[in-house]
Chain A
């Protein structure tokens, strides 16, 4: 049984996002020369965006959790199977290039990998008790127990009367619930054991892709930077509010995902989209990132526009073009909608 669960985790946390990302990149991003890391990360953003777009109407319709699980699982499975059929050549190439990449790794890169693995495994062997889990994890266990989507108060189990709009509009705990159903595990075990092992390395993947963007064709530089980043994170408890603290304390919560995976991802693909003078398909990935941000935390309503807005202003001034501003504005429409709903709920209160 343990083997089956481990296999399911590998399938839903690694294979499915990778295959979906690969399908998108090979069919939509034409002449894509990016590596498997980009495929995996893009796949995650697509999955999160799709999950958000699927969850919101089902939530408003008071649909059951198992309906959400079924639709999500079937759609992702079909996309993954299509990817295996259509992109089998790419899969083989990626497998070879990953092996070559690892075989050519410098000692400093391996040292960085060890530090990252230690960080991923500490939360499996040890525990950090965070009282915010009373909401974030209990929302997932409540959803599984009642087979509903955010209809019961996770604190008490009573039916929700006054929706806390900030939390309803960012249903990341429901992703935890759905994932736990897919891998046949208790949501609390998934949140406290499985997610750290997946999302801590994922956050380093985003960081490494950012470093590789800065040090284009200078792998040794990027490897050293990754090593220093891993060390900075381990010593990053300068306050409990830093993204490093959130990464190593409570990565299973949506806000920690926002700080460590989604905002850096938005930064990465924002740069990729804006640094090219012509319109390009990276903007679609930026839009996925924005939707993923809305899924993860209500803070995304303010932070995603701030990040993308500043980047767009800098590029617009530098390139003397309005395209970055216009395209960023279009990508940020989901944040605007969520923002209006939040503000309306604040005013009504």
Chain B
């Protein structure tokens, strides 16, 4: 039992570390709760009991208790049995961290006299946010949309080529980079494996992505899974030797579509 609790606590802490990232937002969050605590006391002195209760429950008792509950192994342990412990960090979603920080910043700014002083306070708060956080809009996270489907252009081109080649049954084996996208565009096209591959499927997907696939070795696999098209990645397609049981259909960038004859 104690091992289970120890492990659960460890997993909860790992989830916390994963969620908090640099930890700066959580630091702001705890400072925010202190600010809100004193602000709540002020509103109590001002005579509004209801408003004090809401504020103090909202921004102090609830987040604190929720945080303690999430890292408590007695609660975390049973939850992690039901869900994968790897995604336990999602438990932190119940705490409105950014809303509480925003409230504290608003309280701080409203304490500053109107005019240039308040504008400076706003700029200071934004600077704190910028320094503590990490800008979501960067080239790593977003790129210019290639099409209205927001899918890689190659995946769409492959689907269109298959549908131009046959209106009937089509099952395509694709490299790992394309496997998540094909059926988002055209769900009438079957695939022997999807994004999460296992066993020999993984070997096939990786090999098709490798740049120099050994096409001959896939024949029995394609027959077994009734695959009648396949795509491989190659920067030098002219060097690829097609076995006699397949023929090229077309290319989309460095991805090349081939039809399996007789299937």
The distance in angstroms between the C-alpha atoms of A67 and B209, with both chains bound, is 41
Residues in chain B near residue A89, CB distance under 8 A: none
* Cβ–Cβ contact B150 & A303, under 8 A: no
Within 8 Å by CB of B142, from A128, A214, A231, A245, lies: A128
The verdict on B160 contacting chain A, using a C-beta distance below 8 Å, is no
The distance in angstroms between the C-alpha atoms of A144 and B50, with both chains bound, is 50
Residues in chain A near residue B168, CB distance under 8 A: none
The distance in angstroms between the C-alpha atoms of A343 and B171, with both chains bound, is 35
The distance in angstroms between the C-alpha atoms of A318 and B58, with both chains bound, is 12
Chain A 119-141 residues near chain B, CB threshold 8 A: 122, 124-129, 131, 133-135, 137-138, 141
Residues in chain A near residue B69, CB distance under 8 A: 306, 310
The distance in angstroms between the C-alpha atoms of A271 and B185, with both chains bound, is 42
Residues in chain B near residue A154, CB distance under 8 A: 183, 187, 194
A235/B135 contact (C-beta < 8 A), A125-B145, A346-B82 known: yes
Chain B 170-192 residues near chain A, CB threshold 8 A: 171, 179-181, 183-192
Interface string of A254-292 (1 = CB under 8 A from B): 010011000110010001000100000000000000000
The distance in angstroms between the C-alpha atoms of A192 and B57, with both chains bound, is 37
Interface string of B34-67 (1 = CB under 8 A from A): 0000000000000000110111011101100110
* A interface secondary structure, majority: helix
Chain A CB within 10 A, most for which of B65, B103, B189 = B103
Distance from A297 Cβ to chain B, minimum over Cβ atoms (Å):
8
* Cβ–Cβ contact B144 & A125, under 8 A: yes
Residues in chain B near residue A210, CB distance under 8 A: 96, 99
Distance from A148 Cβ to chain B, minimum over Cβ atoms (Å):
11
Within 8 Å by CB of A188, from B51, B61, B122, B185, lies: B185
Distance from B189 Cβ to chain A, minimum over Cβ atoms (Å):
7
* B interface secondary structure, majority: helix
Residues in chain B near residue A225, CB distance under 8 A: 99, 102-103, 105-106
* Cβ–Cβ contact A188 & B99, under 8 A: no
The distance in angstroms between the C-alpha atoms of A307 and B194, with both chains bound, is 35
Interface string of A162-198 (1 = CB under 8 A from B): 0000000000000000000000001011001100000
The distance in angstroms between the C-alpha atoms of A221 and B183, with both chains bound, is 47
The verdict on A36 contacting chain B, using a C-beta distance below 8 Å, is no
| Nearest opposing residue in chain B for A130, CB measure | B180
Chain B 188-214 residues near chain A, CB threshold 8 A: 188-196
The distance in angstroms between the C-alpha atoms of A122 and B181, with both chains bound, is 21
Count CB-based A-B contacts (< 8 Å): 255
Interface-located stretch among B2-10, B14-22, B242-250, B251-259: B14-22
Residues in chain A near residue B241, CB distance under 8 A: none
Within 8 Å by CB of A192, from B82, B91, B107, B150, lies: B150
Within 8 Å by CB of A157, from B19, B83, B187, lies: B187
The distance in angstroms between the C-alpha atoms of A276 and B146, with both chains bound, is 52
The verdict on B117 contacting chain A, using a C-beta distance below 8 Å, is no
* Cβ–Cβ contact A134 & B195, under 8 A: yes
Within 8 Å by CB of B50, from A131, A221, A275, A311, lies: A275
Interface string of B67-97 (1 = CB under 8 A from A): 0011000010001011100010111111010
Within 8 Å by CB of B82, from A231, A242, A255, A343, lies: A343
Residues in chain A near residue B65, CB distance under 8 A: 310, 313-314
The verdict on B151 contacting chain A, using a C-beta distance below 8 Å, is yes
**Count class of interface residues, chain B:** 35 or more
* Cβ–Cβ contact B21 & A235, under 8 A: no
Distance from B258 Cβ to chain A, minimum over Cβ atoms (Å):
20
A310/B188 contact (C-beta < 8 A), A215-B106, A236-B133 known: no
Distance from B13 Cβ to chain A, minimum over Cβ atoms (Å):
14
Residues in chain A near residue B54, CB distance under 8 A: 213-214, 216, 271, 275
Residues in chain B near residue A128, CB distance under 8 A: 141-142
The distance in angstroms between the C-alpha atoms of A154 and B187, with both chains bound, is 8
Binding site for B on A (CB under 8 A): 108, 122, 124-129, 131, 133-135, 137-138, 141-142, 144-146, 153-158, 186, 188-189, 192-193, 207, 210-211, 213-216, 220-222, 224-229, 231-239, 241-245, 248-249, 255, 258-259, 263-264, 267, 271, 275, 298-299, 301-303, 306-307, 310-311, 313-315, 318, 339, 342-343, 346
Binding site for A on B (CB under 8 A): 18-22, 24-25, 50-51, 53-55, 57-59, 61-62, 65-66, 69-70, 75, 79, 81-83, 87, 89-94, 96, 98-99, 101-103, 105-107, 109-110, 122, 125-126, 129-130, 132-137, 141-146, 148-152, 171, 179-181, 183-196
Q: List 27 A-B contacts (CB under 8 A).
A: A125-B144, A126-B143, A129-B151, A134-B194, A154-B194, A188-B150, A211-B99, A221-B106, A225-B99, A225-B102, A231-B130, A235-B135, A236-B25, A238-B20, A238-B22, A238-B24, A239-B20, A241-B19, A241-B90, A244-B98, A271-B57, A271-B58, A302-B83, A310-B94, A311-B62, A315-B57, A318-B53
Inter-chain pairs besides A126-B142, A224-B105, A228-B129, 18 sampled, C-beta below 8 Å = A108-B122, A133-B184, A134-B181, A134-B183, A145-B187, A213-B58, A214-B54, A214-B55, A215-B106, A221-B106, A221-B110, A222-B106, A234-B136, A237-B136, A238-B22, A241-B19, A310-B65, A343-B81
Nearest 3 Cβ contacts at the A-B interface: A155-B194, A235-B133, A239-B21
